[in-house]
Amino acid sequence: MKQPPGERRILIVGLGLIGGSLAAALRASGYGRRGSDAAGGFGPAKEIVACDPDADEIARGIEMGLIDRGDTRLEALVEDASLVVLAVPVLAMSGVMKALAACLDRAAPDVVVTDVGSTKAAIREAAVTAFGHMPTNLVLGHPIAGSEKSGVAAANPRLYANHKVILTPEADTDPVATARVRALWAATGAEVLEMDVARHDQVLARTSHLPHLLAFSLVDTLARQDERLEIFRYAAGGFRDFTRIAGSDPVMWRDIFVANRDAVLAALDDFEAGVARLRRAVERGDGDAMLATFDRASHARHYFESLLNQTSYQAEYQMQQHGKLRYRVSPGGGVTGRIRVPGDKSISHRAIMLGALAEGITEVKGFLEGEDSLATLQAFREMGVAIEGPHQGRVTVHGVGLHGLKAPAGPLYVGNAGTAMRLFAGLLAGQAFDTELTGDASLTRRPMGRVADPLRAMGAEIDTAEGGRPPLHIHGGRALRGISYDMPMASAQVKSCLLLAGLYAEGETRVREPAPTRDHTERMLAGFGYEVHRQGDTCWLSGGGRLTAAPIDVPSDISSATFFLVAAAITPGADLVLEHVGINPTRIGVINILQLMGADLRLENAHEVGGEPVADLHIRHAPLKGIDIPVAQVPLAIDEFPALFIAAANAEGTTRLRGAEELRVKESDRLQAMANGLATLGVEHVLLEDGIDIVGRLEGEGSEGASYGGGHIDSLGDHRIAMAFAIAALRAGEEIVIDDCANVATSFPGFIDLARRVGLTLEEQQEAS
């Protein structure tokens, strides 16, 4: 519930739309009701007073109940004000600041001053001129909200709800003052952010000022043409939507453009350059260039909208900060049916990457439309690659060749995908331009030294954050040379990273792995016509070749299928078929391990698609037994162990895992996270540095056939932990509640629907902030 601010008297200077809506929002929060304090008890009156040069606006504000009193003279209202909000036009701010400086000593001793102007450098300069310095109790701010309407009559108590307010405190601004201004805006339902003054003016010049300038210009251009009546008569909704902001207050926007001139001109320069590029493409009839621009813009628009709405698609960090998802899973259930899980994430990433670097057009079917894979698509769009889709798993990539990528305008965001970041590091190390790779909060905790160090040995220049963690700053234009690298730890991501860098390196790049890892990169490189050699535990390639576009049919992801394989394996009466699942020999550790545990799991309809073997996996329930997991199977099932731990908890005897220290550096420390969750359920286990012993129960040993209890699980934002404990509920005696589940969408969109379809009772809820 919104809490009214604790100020004794709030003075709003300027009772137009912005100031009037602030007063209305404060009233709606409960502020200013005489005889009550912010906690709901009785206390001194809290007032909202307003100053405006128009006496009629003051009278209207009082009549509407928005303010208690007002005056056209500032000095008549300052006395005992604890918070002063300057809500006047930007070019009027200098005069108001001088008037305020002359009478501010009449205000409360702890008075705080803030403003709502949309340009901050000019207002800071006005403050320094008026006060002789930047006061420590002045917190400059800007609510990102507005309307084409004006005046206090248009006041809207929800104008700021779910909108952003940017504060730009100085280094010496009193933090108590900043906190009080935050409380003011929080009472309106706004989201409060902080930014430095220069950055604010640059960002707003591009996202607010430039669009208004273009709308004014377009409408004015058309309105001055002879056929303007015909033009406007037949204007469609798109024209109305785009030009709506041209109805805004002309005087206000004149002032903004004058005050923020340099930043607006810089934004206009960038826009004019973009229009010139598009004009040249239209003149030449360059369809690929036009498609690249339109497609990049279309998907960027969806991306921006998802961030604004705090929905998925590269917005995990928003979910983590502003509302997490919780799973509530009822105990018991059956597992039956025939389903197809989404496409393989590892292959989806690689299909886009190699398709972009190939010459020609690559058609991809079965593409995983999860957030991580979509982030990879967007990253290549930002590097100038035209990509159509995805549309129901179909993507068309217009390749630009190994040397055709262009420098992105800013950092490349890869969401939660460690695979994407490590593979991108390799292919970007060979580019002529600098890049920065960043990701969500989870990814920025994961070590990247394991790829940065060997890439540096190849001649790349890469900067990382403390501890070798993201973001990665990759300096372009460095000559790469092939190396022979013995991986200290088996990792398909490291191997793939070095092979991709090897495409750009002089000579031969050889990678030796201590244990077999997934070979999707080698298979796909060969499918794109690039020669890759393999002998024993070593693979290698020579730089300087070329990739030729080829069709890709992405199999269903065996990692996603694993959750349902385990669900069926542990549930009495289960009978489930998972269709078209990839059974690459380097990925079938989960199949081998479940079969060793006694699972009734058969491969049917086996065949090959685009160089990758696939099959339908038919699994029926059968009693499982604990085993010592063969060390050779560990790298073949490294991502599947969270689900396999649930199988072990339902097996007779003890299951022992060793050589799995890699699990400690995934999206979470998966050994520790799973051990914590198992302890919550009451599953006996012993956690080791490189593995775990899990003591299962005999089928039906617990109450009503349950293998363990229920409880509250923290997934630590790790999608595989969340899904593993969701299927654990099938054999739980009580409900399992799992926190922080938003990232499930990164790897398995549609998990909830499929889980319900096969027989789980799973609800998705919003966690309290």
DSSP string, 484-503: EEE-SS--HHHHHHHHHHHT
Contact 570, 562 (CB under 8 A): no
Q: Backbone phi, then psi, for 527, in 5-degree steps? A: -65, -25
Q: Is the dihedral of CA 736, 739, 744, 749 positive or negative?
A: positive
The span from the CA of 738 to the CA of 46, in Å, is 43
The span from the CA of 469 to the CA of 463, in Å, is 9
Question: Using CA atoms in the order 155, 158, 162, 167, what is the torsion angle rounded to 10 degrees?
Answer: 40
The answer to whether the annotation marks 493 as part of a ligand binding site is yes
Contacts of residue 734, Cβ cutoff 8 Å, sequence gap at least 6: 331, 709, 710, 711
Neighbours of 112 (CB within 10 A): 25
The answer to whether the annotation marks 446 as part of a ligand binding site is yes
The residues that bridge with 13 in the sheet, in sequence order, are 51, 86
Name the 3-class secondary structure at 442.
coil
The span from the CA of 691 to the CA of 270, in Å, is 54
- Structure token pair of residue 52: 């405006």
Contact 584, 518 (CB under 8 A): yes
Contact 46, 9 (CB under 8 A): yes
The answer to whether the annotation marks 757 as part of a ligand binding site is no
Of residues 493, 423, 425, the one with CA closest to residue 462: 425
- Tell me, what amino acid is at 135? P
The answer to whether the annotation marks 346 as part of a ligand binding site is yes
- Structure token pair of residue 163: 């909108």
The answer to whether the annotation marks 406 as part of a ligand binding site is no
Q: Using alpha carbons only, what angle is made at residue 742 by residues 740 and 748, rounded to the nearest 5 degrees?
A: 125
**Residue 535 buriedness (CB in 10 A; 0-12 / 13-18 / 19+):** exposed
The answer to whether the annotation marks 720 as part of a ligand binding site is yes
The answer to whether the annotation marks 639 as part of a ligand binding site is yes
Name the 3-class secondary structure at 719.
helix
Largest Cα–Cα distance in the chain? 88
Contact 392, 314 (CB under 8 A): no
Neighbours of 129 (CB within 10 A): 12
- Indicate the DSSP class of residue 708: B
- Structure token pair of residue 424: 């991108």
Give the relative orientation of helices 261-284 and 197-204 as an angle to the nearest 10 degrees: 40
Catalytic residues: 639
The answer to whether the annotation marks 345 as part of a ligand binding site is yes
Of residues 203, 77, 185, the one with CA closest to residue 140: 185
Of residues 447, 560, 445, the one with CA closest to residue 494: 447
The answer to whether the annotation marks 469 as part of a ligand binding site is no
The span from the CA of 281 to the CA of 462, in Å, is 35
367 dihedral zone (left: phi>0; alpha: psi -120 to 50; beta): beta
Contacts of residue 186, Cβ cutoff 8 Å, sequence gap at least 6: 2, 3, 192
**Residue 76 buriedness (CB in 10 A; 0-12 / 13-18 / 19+):** middle
Contact 726, 738 (CB under 8 A): yes
Instruction: Report, in angstroms and rounded to the nearest whole number, the Rg of the chain calculated over CA atoms.
Output: 30
The span from the CA of 88 to the CA of 15, in Å, is 8
Binding-site members for phosphoenolpyruvate are 345, 418, 446, 493, 670, 720
Binding-site members for 3-phosphoshikimate are 345-346, 350, 491, 493, 639, 666
Binding-site members are 345-346, 350, 418, 446, 491, 493, 639, 666, 670, 720
